[in-house]
């Protein structure tokens, strides 16, 4: 099938393709308990997620008394080391994700990931879940160097280049994703089931979906 309006569809990872909240929540609590701070209810972890592990940790520290004189980068290493060892205990594709990826691939669409998660962690996670081969490229927050993470457009420009060029759209769940897509000049779809840092309909996306079964029709309408 060749009549689909986009050659490339890119995805955010946390809260868009994958529900990573429980595994990230356990890693965040490991770091907080390490410095004597109270753990958060793991079900609340999703409100801290977005912008990468550094921002997640800084937000949680701010809510639990501030960073003070803590060595925050060293504490982030504690968090990431625990997370890397326990990266896929609870994480899964959101409902409908596998069928959606199959449907896009059947239409000849090149699939990509642009995430503020470190590239090595993203690749480790996709490897654990058997998803790596589905994507033409996986770009992480550290792939291109400082200052290039979303909402900067650099990752999305690189995504298109590494996929061989063509018309692209992006799918995400936060202001980081919508901002990056806007800056890159590409249409963007937001998901209501993610870790949204604003109410989903206030993110400024071109379309908002409730389920991955709605993604292809939304992209066709945008095309």
Q: Indicate which residues carry an active-site annotation.
A: 12
Q: State the Cα–Cα distance between residues 17 and 1, nearest whole angstrom.
A: 24
Q: State the Cα–Cα distance between residues 113 and 156, nearest whole angstrom.
A: 9
- Contact between residue 187 and residue 75 where contact means Cβ atoms under 8 Å apart: no
CA atoms within 13 A on the CB side of 113: 28
Q: State the Cα–Cα distance between residues 101 and 117, nearest whole angstrom.
A: 21
The Cα-based distances of 111 to 23, 107, 124 in angstroms read 25, 11, 18
Cα torsion angle, 165, 170, 176, 181, sign: positive
Which two tokens mark 196? Answer: 């949204």
For the beta carbon of residue 202, count every other beta carbon within 10 angstroms. Answer: 12
């Amino acid at each position: 099938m060749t009549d689909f309006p986009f050659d490339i569809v890119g995805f955010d990872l946390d809260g868009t393709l994958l529900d990573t909240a429980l595994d990230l929540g356990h890693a965040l609590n490991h770091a907080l308990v390490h410095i004597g701070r109270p753990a958060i209810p793991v079900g609340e972890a999703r409100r801290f997620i977005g912008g990468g592990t550094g921002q997640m940790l800084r937000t949680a520290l701010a809510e639990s008394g501030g960073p003070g004189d803590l060595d925050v980068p060293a504490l982030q290493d504690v968090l990431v080391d625990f997370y890397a060892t326990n990266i896929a205990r609870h994480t899964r594709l959101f409902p409908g994700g596998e069928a959606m990826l199959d449907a896009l691939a059947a239409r000849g669409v090149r699939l990509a990931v642009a995430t503020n998660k470190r590239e090595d962690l993203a690749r480790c996670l996709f490897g654990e879940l058997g998803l790596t081969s589905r994507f033409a490229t996986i770009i992480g927050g550290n792939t291109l160097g400082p200052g290039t993470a979303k909402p900067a457009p650099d990752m999305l420009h690189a995504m298109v280049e590494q996929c061989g060029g063509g018309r692209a759209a992006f799918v995400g769940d936060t202001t980081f994703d919508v901002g990056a897509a806007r800056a890159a000049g590409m249409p963007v779809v937001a998901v209501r089931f993610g870790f949204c840092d604003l109410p989903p309909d206030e993110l400024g996306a071109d379309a908002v979906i409730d389920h991955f079964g709605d993604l292809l029709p939304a992209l066709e309408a945008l095309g």
